[in-house]
Each structure stands twice: as C-alpha cells, then as structure tokens.
Amino acid sequence: MAAQIIDGKKVAEELREWLAVRVGQLKTRGIVPGLTAVLVGDNAASASYVRSKKTAAAKIGINSSVIELPATIKQAELDSIIDRLNIDRSVHGYIVQLPLPKHLNVAHTINRILPSKDADCFHPENVGLMTLGRPRFLPATPAGIIELLRYYHISTSGAEVVVLGRSDIVGRPLSIMLSQKSQHGNATVTVCHTGTRDLSEHARRADILIAAMGRPNTVTAEIVKPGAVVIDVGTNRVSDPTVEKGYRIVGDVDFPAVSEVAGYITPVPGGVGPMTVAMLLANTVTAAELAASPNKQLL
C-alpha cells in the first residue's frame, strides 16, 4: 500500500493564514512586521529561495526587502550592513542567506546579528535558548518538520527517530528538539553521519526516518522499516535532458520506491520546503510581537 503523502504546501498555507491574523493584530497597534534578507553573490539557489521568502511575506502583510550584495564584498562592509539592520526599527527580523563566499567568516557574521532579530535562529544565544527548551525563535526547517508531524497526528513520544545528517541548520537542532521532554518531542533520537559505521542498520530501526544529507536518492526502500514515517529534507539538482530546464529537483529519498514501503512520506518539492519558509515568517512575526512588548519574558 502506498504511503500517505505529507503535504507541506497545505500545512504551510494554513500556518500562513494564522500568521496573517497575528500580523493584522499587530497592524491595529501601528506595527508592521519587517523582514529583510541579505543576499551575497549570485548563487542561483539562494536567489530563488530568497524570492520565495519575499513573496510569501508580502502575502501575509509583512514588509519584505532584499539587500543584494556583490560576491566580492569585504567582511567589514558586510558587518556595517548588519550593524545598520540591528538598529533599524522597521526591521524586526532578518537573515543573511547562506552559503556565503569563502572569504567571508560565517561564524563571525552570524554572531554579529542582533539575537532579537535573528529570524533564522542561528545566533548562539538563540541556539542556547532552544537547547534549554526556552526558545525565543526556532530554527525554521526543524520547526517545520515538527509542525508537519503534529499536523498529521504523528506521535514522537517514545518513537525511535533516526536523523541522517548532523548539520547545524537541520540535523543537530532537530535532534535536540525531538529529544526534549515536550509534547512534540520525547523521542529516542539517533543521529547518523559520515562517521556512522552501519547507517543502514540504524535506518531500518526508525519509526521516523529524517533524511538531511544533501545526497540524491540515498535512502532506498531496502533501508526503510515498513510503515515508517519518512521525512525528506534534501533538495538536490540532478541533470535531466528530458525537461526544459535540463535538470530536476529530487530529495535524498528514492521517492517512488520508498513510498511503497513507508506509512507516510514527504515529497520533494512540496514537502519540507514550504514549511521552512512559513516558519521563517513565524519567527519574524514573533520578533515583531516581542519588540512590541519588550517586557514580555521568554518561557
């Protein structure tokens, strides 16, 4: 029996509707949430992603802008732009789109972002708060994955979760969030990576298998437990001369084969991707709400 498709587009749309209500409430107080993206260089994937964020923000009433910078920009010049955004009261949240050109220091750049405007939740202060279970914001992709599981009533409590990949953007924070003692956590989490001796053995035990490696079609039907929930975070461009663009986007999961084994599965595109954008907007709205109520305490 084919797996049930986890429709990220549908869930993201419902989330945006709720965010639009919160934006409307802020506007009655004279506050218009503002989101800015800093785009360095001409990475096509980054540019496309930033455009999608800008469009989605505008649809729910968020003021959105993009600062486009040349790939040759110096660190001091980028620092100056970040400093300006930090004090701009019309900007409630902003991101510096990754990856950056190699001559720029990613850690230095992230550390310079004002934590209360860190819409990506990359700053060490926000990562620390998330780890302690007292988040100001949540990292967008992990939070989007958990929201998908919640929406489809997929319980994580006591579940065997295997995360393939340990990046600071997805794998590592997601493993922390899912293992926390919380309503949508409380799972037993295994993180697999390039040093894992038998990845397949771990994957076959998973009630929930999350692929975030960035390698196309790595997860095959043979390593998926029958009935498992499979979340595909991968977004990989592979050559395909049969389509006009000359390429197509695939995930880390062999979707046709795995969908015949799994109980639930996310497609690529249309699964996790829309949720990442929606959760970034959620962080921006939260930032505006916190700025409007500076005495509000974090949990």
Tell me which residue of 122, 100, 99, 101 sits closest to 111, measured CA to CA.
Answer: 122
Strands in 93-96's sheet, in edge-to-edge order, are 63-69, 34-40, 93-96
Contact 235, 269 (CB under 8 A): yes
Interatomic CA distance for residues 295 and 293, integer angstroms: 6
Catalytic residue among 53, 54, 117, 225: 53
Residue 83 known to be catalytic: no
Sign of CA dihedral 68, 55, 114, 168: negative
Q: Which of 54, 117, 118, 120 is catalytic?
A: 120
Q: Write down the catalytic residue from 54, 97, 225, 232.
A: 97
Please indicate whether residue 180 is annotated as part of the active site.
no
What phi and psi, each to the nearest 5 degrees, are found at residue 24?
A: -60, -40
The question of whether 53 is a catalytic residue gets the answer yes
Strands 34-40 and 63-69: parallel
Q: Are 224 and 200 in contact (CB under 8 A)?
A: no
Mark out the alpha helices in the chain (DSSP H runs). 8-27, 44-59, 75-87, 106-112, 124-131, 140-151, 171-179, 199-204, 255-258, 272-292
Phi, psi of 248 (to 5 degrees): -140, 160
Q: Give catalytic residues, as residue numbers.
A: 53, 97, 120
